[in-house]
């Protein structure tokens, strides 16, 4: 008999997880299929023989591939499906489409199933398939083989005959669906090359008007397992990726249509040009609703909304310097700092395929009222309430929910902003800290301060981000409370003193008590997984687990590690644990293994 012992350290926390998006790269590799008679003229007829209903909520149907769940435990797969249900519900409340009657059927690509087409205009079967391609084995959506039951059939015709020489019947289709989303869990090459990526998505089928009707989302299992207990993060990443597949994709800009003077089944105009480059070299979207909402946000007349400028071609993301907090920036921030913003919804309105419920949007505070020059690389280094200068300084994220450090990344073009600390900076998350003037609580926010208690600490410490309680009295009006102090009035925009403390504290202006805060708890969680209660402090518990392996079996170190990861994963799931650290005794591998 052989045995080994593992000591487990459970800490109930939420980690600040980050991810990046690969949509533009993935979409370029995805073959897109349109109906055989799709129009490309300046004005296109959306539908002729097809019957369409009035605009109704968009129905996104996730299709889970058989066997794909093998890379996740049943509880993990259940949590993924729960997150996808929430995402599809959000999309249904956000977008409406003119529905086509009957089940959704996808098109086949004639260039794939047909080896040759009758090309003589005098022939009866001109432009019809004349001979099949024997290498044809069906349609794919990215790397997913589409079931035949989801596809239209196809025919092969003689030169002038009235009956086909080969016919494949239509499949049954997918009922109650406006967009079919194939969900894949796989450790692909892209997952391996980009370990920070949680998921990526693309569209692969369009309807007569150019609207995407099918796509695929791929979840990288390693990263997915790390965040599987963080329901809001999975929801956020999934929503970001599916919004690309639904139309916010640079490869679809040329297909956006203007149906403002017609219905979806009538004649709509193609938008002559969706994007252009401004005088500063910044590519922007110039469509009516986008320009209106961007102008309202910056406090100027209508202006284009900026796209990420990392590539020479148009990007499928908003510019990070100017649109921090939007759901569609390239670098995906933590869920409580990310919003479905009015400018993103305006883009979907201007696509022409959807009617948009703008009431569900959340106002952006980043750059609010800052004018046309906001966020330019030439201006971001100047003194600003949004940008910072001193690298690595600990300050406050602009929403004041988190402590943050002054840093930059590849999407910020040399500009520095206060980015939330990777861990431990959540003022709104109780952590049991004592012996300090700070207070971590669901009603705490981050304040710039150098307060020190008399006479325990030296005076005139450096100002930095600290966590204190706040309570709202009205719009932009609040009190603050430091550990050991009474509630103190905090006039927005002013530096104040706190009785019993040396130093000062800055009261944010236009950041707190505006009625804009969204819940920090997920709106829905899996019934099998306890939700994190932010009203309780984090806890720690040490547990000893002994696993005994039968003699005679061959157990490599790698197999032992995989076994323990599965055992600990089950324990963590049933205990409702958010983070788990493992310290193994001999003869386990010497490395420390983290299971989140």
Report the catalytic residues: 241
Identify the three-state secondary structure at position 25. helix
Residue 251 DSSP code: G
C-alpha dist (Å) from residue 149 to 146, 170, 171, 184, 362? 8, 7, 4, 18, 40
C-alpha dist (Å) from residue 148 to 11, 168, 258, 307? 48, 10, 34, 38
Sign of torsion over alpha carbons 201, 360, 442, 521: negative
C-alpha dist (Å) from residue 273 to 45, 269, 351, 388? 19, 12, 12, 36
Separation of alpha carbons 354 and 358, rounded Å: 12
Separation of alpha carbons 104 and 60, rounded Å: 11
**Residues 44 and 451: beta-carbon distance below 8 Å:** no
Give the position of tokens 């989302």.
217
What are 276's strand-pairing partners?
Answer: 284
Cis peptide before 377 (omega within 30 of 0): no
Sign of torsion over alpha carbons 80, 82, 86, 92: positive
Angle ∠(42,46,53) on CA atoms, nearest 5:
150
Burial of 126: CB neighbours in 10 Å, binned 0-12, 13-18, 19+: middle
* Residue 343 Cα to chain centre, angstroms: 16
- Strands in 207-348 per DSSP E: 212-219, 257-258, 267-270, 275-277, 283-285, 305-306, 331-332
- Strands in 413-463 per DSSP E: 417-420, 444-449, 452-453
What are 502's strand-pairing partners?
Answer: 452
**Residues 553 and 4: beta-carbon distance below 8 Å:** no
Give the position of tokens 């609207």.
211
Other C-beta atoms closer than 10 Å to the C-beta of 294 total 26
Angle ∠(509,513,515) on CA atoms, nearest 5:
125
Separation of alpha carbons 86 and 521, rounded Å: 14
Separation of alpha carbons 80 and 85, rounded Å: 9
């Amino acid at each position: 008999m052989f045995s080994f012992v593992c000591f487990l350290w459970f800490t109930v926390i939420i980690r600040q997880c980050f991810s990046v998006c690969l949509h533009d790269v993935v979409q370029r590799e995805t073959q897109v299929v349109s109906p055989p008679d799709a129009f490309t003229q300046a004005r296109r007829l959306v539908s002729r023989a097809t019957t369409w209903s009035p605009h109704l909520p968009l129905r996104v149907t996730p299709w889970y591939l058989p066997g794909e769940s093998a890379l996740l435990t049943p509880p993990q797969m259940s949590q993924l499906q729960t997150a996808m249900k929430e995402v599809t519900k959000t999309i249904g409340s956000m977008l409406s489409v003119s529905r086509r009657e009957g089940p959704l059927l996808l098109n086949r690509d004639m260039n794939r199933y047909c080896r040759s087409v009758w090309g003589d205009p005098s022939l009866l079967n001109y432009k019809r398939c004349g001979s099949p391609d024997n290498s044809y084995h069906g349609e794919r959506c990215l790397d997913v083989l589409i079931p035949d039951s989801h596809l239209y059939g196809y025919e092969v015709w003689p030169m002038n005959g009235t009956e086909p020489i080969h016919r494949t019947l239509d499949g049954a289709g997918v009922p109650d669906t406006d967009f079919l989303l194939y969900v894949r869990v796989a450790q692909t090459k892209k997952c391996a090359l980009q370990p920070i990526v949680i998921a990526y998505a693309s569209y692969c089928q369009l309807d007569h008007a150019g609207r995407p009707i099918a796509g695929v989302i791929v979840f990288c299992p390693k990263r997915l397992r790390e965040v599987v207990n963080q329901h809001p993060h999975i929801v956020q990443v999934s929503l970001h990726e599916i919004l690309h597949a639904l139309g916010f994709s640079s490869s679809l800009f040329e297909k956006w249509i203007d149906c403002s003077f017609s219905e979806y089944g009538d004649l709509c105009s193609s938008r002559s040009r969706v994007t252009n480059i401004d005088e500063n070299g910044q590519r922007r979207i110039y469509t009516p609703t986008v320009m209106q909402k961007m102008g309202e946000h910056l406090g100027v007349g209508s202006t284009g909304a900026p796209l990420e400028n990392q590539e020479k071609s148009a990007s499928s993301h908003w510019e990070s310097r100017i649109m921090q907090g939007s759901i569609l920036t390239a670098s995906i921030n933590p869920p409580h700092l990310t919003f479905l913003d009015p400018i993103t919804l305006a883009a979907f309105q201007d696509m022409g395929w959807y009617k948009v419920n703008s009431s569900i949007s959340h106002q952006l505070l980043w750059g609010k009222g800052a004018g046309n020059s906001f966020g330019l690389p030439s201006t971001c280094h100047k003194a600003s309430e949004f940008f910072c200068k001193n690298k690595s300084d600990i300050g406050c994220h602009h929403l004041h929910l988190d402590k943050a450090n002054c840093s930059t990344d590849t999407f910020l073009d040399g500009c520095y902003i206060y980015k939330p600390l990777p861990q431990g900076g959540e003022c709104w998350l109780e952590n049991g800290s004592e012996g300090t003037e700070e207070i971590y609580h669901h009603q705490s926010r981050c304040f710039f301060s150098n307060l020190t208690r008399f006479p325990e600490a030296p005076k005139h410490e450096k100002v930095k981000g600290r966590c204190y309680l706040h309570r709202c009295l009205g719009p932009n009006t609040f009190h603050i409370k430091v550990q050991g102090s009474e509630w103190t009035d905090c006039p927005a925009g002013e530096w104040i003193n706190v009785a019993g403390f040396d130093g000062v504290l800055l009261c944010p202006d236009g950041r707190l008590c505006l009625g804009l805060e969204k819940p920090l708890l997920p709106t829905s969680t899996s019934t099998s997984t306890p939700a994190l209660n932010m009203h309780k402090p984090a806890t720690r518990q040490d547990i000893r687990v002994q696993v005994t392996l039968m003699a005679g079996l061959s157990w490599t170190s790698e197999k032992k590690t995989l076994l323990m990861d599965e055992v600990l994963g089950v324990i963590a799931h049933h205990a409702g644990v958010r983070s788990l650290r493992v310290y193994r005794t001999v003869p386990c591998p010497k490395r420390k293994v983290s299971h989140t």
